Amino acid sequence: MRGIKRTLTIIGAALSVLMLSGTAFASEGSAINTGDTAWMLASAALVLLMTPGLAMFYGGMVRRKNVLGTIMHSFVAIAVISVQWVLFGYSLSFGPDVHGFIGDLSWLGLNGVGLEPSSYAPTIPHLAFMIYQCMFAVITPALISGAFAERMKFSAYVLFILLWSTLVYNPVAHWIWGHGGWLNGTLDFAGGIVVHLTSGISALVAALVIGARREYLKEPMPPHNLPMTVLGAGLLWFGWFGFNAGSALQAGGISTMAFVTTHTAAATATLVWVIVEWMHRGKATMFGAATGAIAGLATITPAAGFVSPMSAMAIGAIAAILCYTALNLKSKLGYDDSLDAFGVHGVGGTTGTICAGLLASLAINSGGANGLFFGNASTLIMQLKAIGAVAVYSVVITFVLLKVLDKTVGLRVQNEQEMQGLDLTQHSEEGYYLS
């Protein structure tokens, strides 16, 4: 009993310290712009919607016996990463700089993060900026789950996303977006590197470490519910306007441009993917059109607020061609990136980051830089430097994490469990009860 009382006392004291931070919430700064705040809160909601959208997109692509397990990967990420973000993830990503590598723990438990504006977004409450960035942190590890769908233990997955977010996402977000980060100056408007490159390259590592699904390339594994996947793609497209246009951090010209370039790139990528597939396979597919849209959205992300609509159209076309090629090479190379997390997000994020270094224009965004095509080669060099550094770091940390988890809790379900399906073996439920 004494041990229990002592533990409760410690927990109570810790909660009291965290709740004291509420004194910072008492007043709202005069610099707050209500229009900007409304737009950012709406954008945060749009970005949150993307993760359930991803759950539908991925869930429809797997076999029927794994639909709930796949959806659970995205849904549980909302809970796990949101709690991590509030407790310490936000402070590590955006807190006061420590040697250019990480934020310190000054904002632990959101201590000092209140209704006053911050240096990151001077016209909205600091809390609004925090919760907006939370939604980016949530969806990023969920994207990785597409690489190991239908074969990873749920317990290992939960531990993986918690550790990966802390050791990969939080530092990289600080490098690119945090004040004092050593890669400050990289053009990454809404997460081509921070979200798509980190998740995409980590997905490739995960696919290689965990190994292919049983009977991969030996028996067909088509999507069990293509309408669900298309619904998910539509939700992602809709939410992406908050993802990209919201990254302007205010309602105005830059957010408008990012909105337009986002839609233009996605529409172009969809059209080009349909044409390329039609020419290559003799038929245009709904699955291909949905994948093309996501490829265009992922690829325009780093460049959305820096390029013109015509440049966005070019980026969308390039995205469709390169991502289509990457997906078709997968089976030839023999690795099982189940739901194409690397082929879409890794390839798309890298391509978009390079395109930003080529096509960015100060005439579009005076807070950015001119790219190579506008006379500034140093911008492209900076983009390539950031891609290389983040890719190497993500590969190394992800590989080590997966190996440690494999030696401790185990990464993969047993063969019998994989054959039976993750819905029953990991969650004791089924997505469909059919007589």
Alpha-carbon distance 382 to 358, whole Å? 11
pLDDT surpasses 70 at 7: no
Residue 236 β-bridge partners: none
User: Are 262 and 297 in contact, with CB atoms under 8 Å apart?
Assistant: yes
pLDDT recorded at residue 145: 98
pLDDT surpasses 50 at 22: no
pLDDT per residue as tens digits for the range 240-255: 999 999 999 999 999 9
CATH superfamily of 29-427: Ammonium transporter AmtB like domains (1.10.3430.10)
Alpha-carbon distance 198 to 221, whole Å? 27
pLDDT surpasses 80 at 405: yes
pLDDT per residue as tens digits for the range 44-86: 999 999 999 999 999 999 999 999 999 999 999 999 999 999 9
pLDDT, averaged across the chain: 94
pLDDT surpasses 90 at 21: no
By percentage, how much of the chain surpasses pLDDT 90? 92
pLDDT per residue as tens digits for the range 199-210: 999 999 999 999
pLDDT surpasses 50 at 296: yes
pLDDT per residue as tens digits for the range 337-391: 999 999 999 999 999 999 999 999 999 999 999 999 999 999 999 999 999 999 9
Mean pLDDT of 1-27: 46
Residue with tokens 């900076």: 382
Domain ranges of the chain: 29-427
**Coil, strand or helix at 282:** coil
Number of Cβ within 10 Å of residue 287's Cβ equals: 16
Alpha-carbon distance 290 to 271, whole Å? 10
pLDDT recorded at residue 26: 40
Mean pLDDT of 309-315: 98
DSSP assignments along 11-72, one per residue: HHHHHHHHHGGGGGGS---TT--HHHHHHHHHHHHHHHHHHHHHHHHHHHHS-GGGHHHHHH
Q: How would you class 179 by CB atoms within 10 Å of its CB: exposed for 0-12, middle for 13-18, buried for 19 or more?
A: middle
pLDDT recorded at residue 256: 98
What DSSP element (H or E) covers 98?
A: strand 97-98
